[in-house]
Structure 1
Amino acid sequence: MRTNIAAKQIKIDDRMVAYLEVQQTTTAVKTVVFIHGWMDNAASFHAVMKQVEEHDLSWRVIAIDLPGHGHSTHKSAHHFYNFHDYIDDLHRILVKLKAVDVYLVGHSLGALIASCYSAAFPEKVAGLVQIEAHVPLSESPEQSAERLRNGIESREHWREKFPRAIPSKQGAIKMRMRATKLREETVLPIVERDLQLIDGQWFWRHDSKLKCESVYRMTQEQAQAIMSAITVPHLVILGQRGYHYLQNPQILSFLVDAQIEMVEGDHHCHLESPQKVFELILGLVNKN
């Protein structure tokens, strides 16, 4: 099947944000924005976007590369990737794209960004879908000093490192297969979007600063307050073999009015069960 997914980009200040968009022949009445997970990129949603193509829906469908990921610009050497800055980035991206009637679909880190944005700006979001993540990461206040120390030390460690070439493209594919537990054909689009050839050697495109530890994390009360503030239609999709803590009844109790669905797959269940995940997204979007 010939793909009808175009690579595009927009400029925000001095940075470029890359994204993929399904080219539609009909006028779009709803916008579905896919937000990938940590160290992934827009190609993480290639299988679900193909389902959208096949159904020829009147949606504007966009998958963004978060800053520092995929083909989007890295932050400067003096700026790191604080979680809350991603929420500001998403806000500016949606404004720049002139997105209306927006449904946010996030996986992992992208799901957490989408939940916080939906809580802060409910008037700008028509619906929320979270895949393999839901409540923002939290920890006790007593861990704040240790968190801050570890975060700063990880930045110092990063400053002492130099980019290292990857032995081969196939080696990069095998690395991602081990990390994600996905088959080669499934992980290939993500790897190809994250690789670049420089002077005959392969390097990752993503910003190595992404591996620096966070210097701040919410308390459980703050995370719970965020979830309580979500008023839009809300769907949570979890993999049968995904992260077990996401299925903890106590944590799930923080999801006030969310529809919770289980699908076959691991943490990247949207790539292992794309048709089922698409059907669930379709149900939420078409219901409103």
Structure 2
Amino acid sequence: MPAFVQEIRIQLPHIDLAARVYGPEDGQPVLALHGWLDNCMTFELLAPKLQGLRIVAIDMAGHGHSGHRAPGAGYQLWDYALDALMATQQLGWEKFSLLGHSLGGIVSVLIAASVPERVERVALIDGLVPDTGEADKAAKKLGEALLAQIDLAAKKKTVYASIEQAVQVRMRGFMPVSQLASELLAQRGLSPVAGGYSWSSDARLTLPSPLRLTMAHAAAFVQAVQCPMLLVLAEQGVLVKEPQFMQFLNTLSLDVQRLPGGHHLHLDDEEGAQAVAEQVQAFFSTQ
């Protein structure tokens, strides 16, 4: 482990969160939030390239080395937002900035919009707003989510014979990543079990959302952000493939920088991490 990286635990009243800390103690405080089914190793290539920042990259609840939520609890966006805000209080940060990838970017927007007096800057990597759903589909979606939650108890996690097999499968997942990215995520995401290895993330993370924000809700949250906000958009990522999202993006007054690479462009290779770092560094260096 590099000398400038620390492992810490943040004890909240309802859950313990694990985190990796990068950068000098007197750097600008930045809370880094990773994507769905990833962990804080998603920032392992990027964070060391950012100067003057004190980056605390947490494993969000149910991911990595952090605790899982209690039985009966869930993993809604606002639950993550509460965890993050409470974590900054434990860290003694009156004001802070946010660095979020994918799901972590969505949660970052919710936090910045909801408590604007606490947030100084928001840097997003291929994440801005969640998948939305309009009112006429709400009842059907809730029914699907409730039944999926009931059925989850009968499902078993996949066990891989080796770490290498798990890495290869993760590379070809819903959001494909490079071998380097998969290996880094596996370092923190795999646990030994009977017969091999399994991802330690909470199985409830795969459940469908019982209720989605409408497009009007999503727009209102983005428009409520009062601090400077940067979106690094991956040209081969998931967002640019969604016509509705791109139409929505064109209606916003937002600093958008497009870079080559996939959804995990900051983690897939050193070149992508450097390109993202240059944009993020410039963003945090401006007055």
TM-score normalised by structure 1 residue count: 0.92
1:261 aligns with 2:257: yes
One-letter code aligned to 1:85: D
Q: Distance in 1 between matches of 2:246 and 2:150?
A: 38
Consecutive unaligned residues of structure 1, counting only runs of 5 or more, are: none
Deviations 1:6-43 (A, max 9, x none): 2111111142100000153xx51411221000000000
Equivalent of 1:271 in 257, 267, 276:
267
Match of 1:32 in 2: 30
**Equivalent residue, structure 1, for 2:39:** 41
Q: 1:3 to 1:176 in 2, by over 3 A?
A: farther
Residue identity over aligned pairs, in percent, reads 26
User: Which of residues 194, 209, 214 in structure 1 aligns to 2:209?
Assistant: 214
2:224 to 220, 229, 233: 229
Aligned CA distance change for structure 1 residues 66 and 111 (closer, same or farther; 3 Å): same
Show CA shifts across 1:46-87 (max 9, x none). Answer: 1101313xxxx3321111100000000001222121222111
Q: Pairwise mapping of residues 180-199 of structure 1 onto structure 2 (< 5 A)? A: 180-199=175-194
Q: TM-score, normalised by structure 2?
A: 0.92
In the alignment, structure 1 residue 15 sits paired with structure 2 residue 15? yes
Deviation, 1:186, is: 2.7
- Pairing of 1:39-188 with structure 2 (within 5 A): 39-52=37-50, 57-179=51-173, 180-188=175-183
Residue-pair matches, total? 281
The Cα of 1:246 is off from its aligned counterpart by 7.0
- CA contact 1:224–1:254 (8 Å) conserved in 2: no
Is the Cα contact below 8 Å between 1:237 and 1:262 reproduced in 2?
Answer: yes
Kindly tell me: are residues 198 and 275 of structure 1, through their superposed partners in 2, closer, same or farther at Cα, counting changes over 3 Å? Answer: same
- 1:252 is matched with which residue? 249
CA contact (8 A) 1:34 1:63 kept: yes
1:129 Cα deviation from its structure 2 partner: 1.1
Give the match's secondary structure for 1:123: coil
Uncovered stretches (5+) of structure 2, i.e. residues with no partner: none
Instruction: Specify the code of the residue in structure 1 equivalent to 2:280.
Output: I
Q: Distance in 1 between matches of 2:54 and 2:89?
A: 15
Give the partner amino acid of 1:162: K
Distance 2:21 2:69 in 1: 23
